Structure 1
Amino acid sequence: MLPPFICCALFLALSNCVHGARILGLFPHTGRSHQMVYEPLLQKLAERGHHVTVASFFPLKNPPANYTDVSFEGIARVGLETIDLNWYENPKFILRIPIIGRICKQITDISPLAEMALNVCSKAIEWPPLTEALNKEYDIILVENFNSDCMIGLLHVYQVKAPVVALLSSNIMPWSAERIGATDNPSYVPLITAITSFNSQMSFLERMENTFLKLFFTFWYRHAIQMKEQALIEKHYGIKIPELGVLVKNISLMLTNTHHTLNGARPLVPGLVEVGGMHLNPTRKVIPEVSDLNNFYL
């Protein structure tokens, strides 16, 4: 029989033993601003001992230990995310019509996401580095939920059984809420601010516009992206898979880059968690003192 203090010492020593998880991150969007939100989380997971494999267009220059990049570079052109000022300085006639012009612009702004998603999906399904990564075993999957569900379809094809966590660099998209069982009733929940500028205090006409856009984008996403991505996967692998609209409901958790102080209060479910600001550096920085007001410029 060991003395009590030795038993306590052994217990404390063994309690520090942990097993790192095998994590796969799938981020098929070409926008750099999106990846900037996820990188701090992915790096921190690797620094804490987890084995992290990340498929994206933006491999790290100095990855931490246990971090493996699966680069999508070469599949598609990386988005520079520039803005054509002619949209604002010289708008077309239809865009000047109240309400109708605003709706047309919102639809026009988001429509290119379909072509981008299908272009990446058509090449990712036969990208050898991704195929190799999907053939391994994982404990958890992190996948971006934005303009594509191609990765969800590939997880099914390769029979990856790990729980799936969806990440968004913004508020939930118009087609995202139902997959986690959340409500986004357009009568009082405005669409993402990138599409509209509405808040929870909408007029009757604004609620009608918000409702129309919600229904339109949900229908558009289903037919312009999901069904076409499913066709690409089925054609390439020669198999029939469940509808992507069904597979996405297997998501276990959804993390959104929002916070109620900025986005307003709205109904949530346990599987939908706001993590706004997780990409910010928590290190406190010293504000330099200004000794000469003449050197201080606004």
Structure 2
Amino acid sequence: MDDRYSRQILFRPIGEAGQRKIQQKHVLILGSGALGTASAEALVRAGIGKLTIIDRDYVESSNLQRQQLFSEKDAIDQMPKVIAAKNRLCQINSNVEIDVHIMDATGNTLTPLLNDVDLAIDATDNFDIRFIMNDLFQKHHIPWIYGSCVGSTGMSYTILPDQTPCLQCLLNAMPVSGATCDSVGIISPAVQMVVAHQTTEAFKLLVEDYDALRSRLVTFDLWNNHYQTINVERAKKEHCPTCGVDPSFSYLDYETQTKSEVLCGRDTVQIRAGRDFNLEDLAARLTKVGEIKTNPFLLSLEYQTYRFVIFRDGRTLIHGTDSIDKAKRMYYQLIG
């Protein structure tokens, strides 16, 4: 066994047998922000066999305070987060297979990527995608680990299909705050605490030490010195539309998926076109509209007081407004 993992192997619950299992497993991470980058680094350093990372966004300077795989150059170049993350992760451990996707996560886009996934980790920032994940992973019997943080607070819970309450059960029993990082801020220790809980649970699942799994929801507030674990077994509902006796998986229906959405607390609207863009043609067409910056993955356009960021996969982020109507109007004026 490679000496680089010797200290991990010395930890008896993992050992050589557990290390071999880790190196044979495939983990999917949804999101490449604060939680996603820290979880990805922990798994890559631990020798995970394959890691798939999905994110729709690019690196900005405000990310650098807590999103640990990114550099100032990544922000200047507006590098897609998954590309910047992969570049750094490959430098950390070249033996790990790392697959990345610059895309919006939906039921349709995620399904082809699930064939050999052993575990998924939630590193998203909104409940639209979490409910899709909840339905999708329940349907495909993939365990996943929920995590969220804002301010100095955070929470985590391990969801096992057919065994534990699902996310919809939990949120029906315990509504969560609508606060976001952009409205109340965040400190990096809160991120690391959530990641510590998520990745520890991940290691337990990867080495198949199921008896050691934490069955409770954990919540904390580091600044105010609060830490709590909550027994949520009674939250499981017999007729839950996701994990009940007759599931409908309603969040996987096309009609329930957002086509235009205001991104979490960011004064930004995303519009999905349903087609790929030829960025070279767009750049030629928009060059007289405003200042343009491009890289192999996206086009950025400064227009009046707004910034358009256009991805090849048909998505456009319109920064500077939280009005979907206004964003659509400018989108159709400039892009068509």
- Common fold: TM-score over 0.5: no
Say which one has the larger Rg: 1
TM-score by length of 2: 0.32
TM-score by length of 1: 0.36
